Every structure is written in C-alpha cells, then in structure tokens.
Structure 1
Amino acid sequence: MHTWHWRNGDELPYLTCSLLEFWHHGFFTQQFWPCSPAELTKVLQPEASVYRLKQVHGNTVFTPSEIDSLLSTIADDLVSADGLVSEQPLQAVWVASADCTPVLIGDVKTGQVAAIHAGWRGTAKKIVPEAIARLQSQGSQLVDLRLALGPAIAGEVYQVSVEVAAEVGASIISHDDQKYIIEALQNFPNSPLLADPNPGKIRLDVRRVNCLQLENLGMSAEQIAIAPYCTFQTPENFFSYRREKEKKVQWSGIISR
C-alpha cells in the first residue's frame, strides 16, 4: 500500500505520498493560507522556479515555456488553464483546490512532473489523461508514471445531480443515454456512484472516476495513490468550498528533478 505522511514546514502540517518520495512535493493544508506558491516552494526546494495558473475548470494543460510565452501576450499576470507539465529540472508546478481533486504526477525515468486541478468539470473533460498525453509527448512511458490524488471531497458526501454524474461518467462509458451511463457505472466494482435519498440526486466519487480513466489508459493500481482525507469531513486541516462557501484554497505542488 502507498503510505501518506504528515510533514512539518514552518511548524505547519502538510501531506506527502510515498509514491512520490523521489520528488519534493506536498499537499498543503489550510494552515498555510494565504501563503503563495512562491512561499510554499521555499518550504520544499528554494532553488526551484515557480509556476501556477488561473484555474477555470477546463482541461487545458500547459508547460512553463508555453506559460512564459503566453504571459507576454496577455494583460493578466496568470494564464488560464488547469494543468501544468514541467520540461526542465527544478520547476515547481502548483494547483489550488478546496474540494476538487489535486493530482500530482511524477515520471521516475525522466524526473518530470505535472500538477492538475481536477474538479468534476475537468474530470468530465479528461484533464488527467490530457496531462499524461503531454508527458508522453515529452518522452514519458505510462509504466514510469506515479500519480497521487490528494485530499478532495469524498464520494459519500458529494451530492450532485444525475445530469452531472452522467456527464462525468461519459468520460468512462462513451454513450449518449444518461440512464445507460448511470446504470453501467452503478454495476462497476467499487462504483464511483453512491445512492442519495433525494430524487434526481446521486453521490459522486470524482477521484474514483479519475482512477477509472487511468485504468482505461492501461495504468495499474500500484501506480496510483489516493489520499485518505476528505476536505469536507476534515475541517481541522482542509478548506471545503461546499462546507464553508468561502473562496479559500489549499495548494498542492511538486518539483521536477
């Protein structure tokens, strides 16, 4: 089993995953709010250059060089996207989340990394497979990738509409009929869908859907770790947008070797 460890940075807690022990990385807690990725990078690896995004719940993935060239053409100081893939050593890539799934990826052969913000919308648009495709275009092999899915809202408490569940489910079961998608997913072992007492509602495990997408790519369970923490149910360590309705986030980042 992959193990998760609590670490201390500036006397504050953050999480790491044994699957990513090869890299400086962390899933930071709300105790670090409102530290910026630049400040958090100093906790992990002060020499690294820092990259972050203006997250928009899409499936666009950029590299640092693409970000640098885009920044010269826009008025904003952040580029809109939800995934970052490193190209060089010592690049720190960061994503923010408050119920959505932060995904950190490392390649044990190339040392390159990725950070992805995968909410239900990004998951429906297969943002994690998109990031993996970017890594593959840079020479990564699927077998060399290691993925950690950080603290996020758990399926047992994440109530969504049947329509949303079907839209996300269509990323695994390609079909036009909502009812067909829902029923097929409910028959999966360890289904990402759980019953909800309210009509027209269902509980959705977004992290499980991401794992199923990875399985569809041909990745094995040994390459994937899921944090045993729910942002909604762990108020002492994590912000939850659904719980508090506040625009606060925790950051997750990883640094290429």
Structure 2
Amino acid sequence: MWQWQTRSELPYLTCDLLTDWQHGFFTRQFAPRKPHELTPILAAHASTYRLKQIHGKIVLTPTEIATTAEVEVETGNALGDGALTETAAQAVWVASADCNPILIANRATGNVAAVHAGWRGTSLQIATVAVERLLAQGGNLTDIIVAIGPAIAGEVYQVTTQVGLEVCASIAPHPLSGDLETDAATLQALPNSPLLTDAQAGRVRLDVRRVNQLQLERLGIPVEQISIAPHCTFQEPEHFFSYRREKLKKIQWSGIVSK
C-alpha cells in the first residue's frame, strides 16, 4: 500500500489510498528544500501553504492563513498544526522528524488536509479536528481517506506513564481512574494496544500512530480507509531525520495537493 517514488534519484513515499491526489512523504534527502520548492514536484502550478507548528490543534484554511491567523513575527508564518484546502490546486504541507505527518483527502470534494500530530497534538485529537473541518465542506465519513506517514514507532518511543495516559485517554474504553498503574494496565490490555510496557519504572512505550488511527476509527472512518506507513523515523536513519535519535532540529516535509 506504500510505494517508493523518486525525483532526480531522491526517494519519497506515496500511499496507494491517495492515488487520486498528488502527494508525497519526503525523505531527508530532499533537505533543506522548503515546501515552495517541493510543490512543483507534485503539481507545477499549485499554490503552497505551510504553518509555524506549535504542537496544538489549530487547523487553518488558506483564507484563514492570509487574513485571520496569528503569525510568527520572524517568518510571517501562521501558527497552527494543520492546513486544509478550499479549492483545487492548493498544496498543504507539514514538517516532521518523529511526529506523525498525516495527509487526509475528501473524495466528495477533492479537498485535502495536512496535519502535524505529535503526542501533544494527538492528545488534543487534531486529526479529528481536520476531518471535521473537511466534512464541513461536504461529504461524509465514508469519503475520508487518511495516510499516516513515517514517524517514530511505538516499540522505540519511550515516554513517562503520565504522558502515555494523556495521549491514550481519548481511546480508553471508559474514563481513566487517575491511578497511573491501574490506568496503564487497562490500556495495555486493549487489543493491539498503542501503550506498551517498558522496563524502566514510570515509563511506557507509546505508538502515537496507532492512537491517531483509533481516534479516526472511533470517529467513524472505515478501517480500510486509514493506512499507517511501515517506516520508523528513529530506526531508518538512511531515510529520515529523527529528533529522538539525533537531538537536532532537522525535518522532512509531507504534502498533498487538492483537486
């Protein structure tokens, strides 16, 4: 379901679910190119939109980016972690190193969204916010397609138990009790749980990709319309930057063009 593509012998990923849309999850080999330099690889005449990411749940349209969004003074980029299109030939982009780059398409309208979902944004259910904004433009949940791109895998992503529970609260079978050990055990008992055990006291392993998938499934998106890339940014240094691995602020971009 995931395919390697090349441009000038440089690799990037696409997802078969999004075949009808020009898109790409670009690798570290494309650094230091910015979205306005990458958009022509996908669509020669598309306009380009990106944000100053803040680990929140703000999702903006191009109109909002231009007219109402709070901006970073230094760069003039609007603050937010998700961008969605309003018309055809608009390219929306997000940056990631270990966080989840999520590309979403609406078959009913042709519009798309790009979302940056780290553990904080995932705890705030930013992917759900983006889907709801896409659906406000038309269509229903069966029209929504989601590709969750390369990110750090759960088996190597250690966090505090508190963080793990905060992120997983939205997919718990019932409200959490507030007791860390009890709540962790409850969540770890779920089928294919995103919360994994860790040998260190007070720590767990967390699969943020799986949490996003479960949030979207609970929203009502059919499971066959969601795909997670089989690639880990932490474990594949030949293809991806990883902040957890390198402790350097280097990123790769993921983008999609509306039709």
Give the TM-score normalised by structure 2: 0.95
- Alpha-carbon distance in 1 for matches of 2:177, 2:48: 41
Query: What residue is the counterpart of 1:134 in the other structure?
Result: 133
What is the identity, as a one-letter code, of the residue corresponding to 1:24? Q
CA shift at 1:175, angstroms? 2.9
Query: What residue is the counterpart of 1:54 in the other structure?
Result: 52
1:55-94 CA-to-partner distances (Å, cap 9, x unmatched) read 0000110001100113698744101100011110000000
- Alpha-carbon distance in 2 for matches of 1:171, 1:161: 17
CA contact (8 A) 1:163 1:178 kept: no
C-alpha distance 145-73 of structure 1, shift in aligned 2 (>3 A): closer
- Alpha-carbon distance in 2 for matches of 1:178, 1:77: 44
C-alpha distance 50-150 of structure 1, shift in aligned 2 (>3 A): same
Query: What residue is the counterpart of 2:64 in the other structure?
Result: 66
Query: What residue is the counterpart of 1:148 in the other structure?
Result: 147
CA contact (8 A) 2:59 2:83 kept: yes
Query: What residue is the counterpart of 2:90 in the other structure?
Result: 91
CA contact (8 A) 1:166 1:178 kept: no
- Alpha-carbon distance in 2 for matches of 1:181, 1:160: 15
CA contact (8 A) 1:151 1:229 kept: yes
1:72-118 CA-to-partner distances (Å, cap 9, x unmatched) read 98744101100011110000000000000000001112110000000
Percentage identity across aligned positions? 57
CA contact (8 A) 2:52 2:72 kept: no
CA shift at 1:176, angstroms? 5.0
Structure 2's unaligned 5+ residue stretches are none
CA contact (8 A) 1:63 1:85 kept: yes
Query: What residue is the counterpart of 1:169 in the other structure?
Result: 168
- 1:165-244 mapped onto 2 (5 Å cutoff): 165-173=164-172, 174-175=175-176, 177-179=178-180, 180-244=182-246
- Alpha-carbon distance in 2 for matches of 1:181, 1:148: 29
Query: What residue is the counterpart of 1:114 in the other structure?
Result: 113
Equivalent position SS for 2:68? helix
CA RMSD for the aligned pairs?
1.4
CA shift at 1:18, angstroms? 0.2
Number of equivalenced pairs: 255
Give the TM-score normalised by structure 1: 0.96
C-alpha distance 137-193 of structure 1, shift in aligned 2 (>3 A): same
Equivalent position SS for 2:128? helix
C-alpha distance 242-89 of structure 1, shift in aligned 2 (>3 A): same
Query: What residue is the counterpart of 1:23 in the other structure?
Result: 21
CA contact (8 A) 2:105 2:113 kept: yes
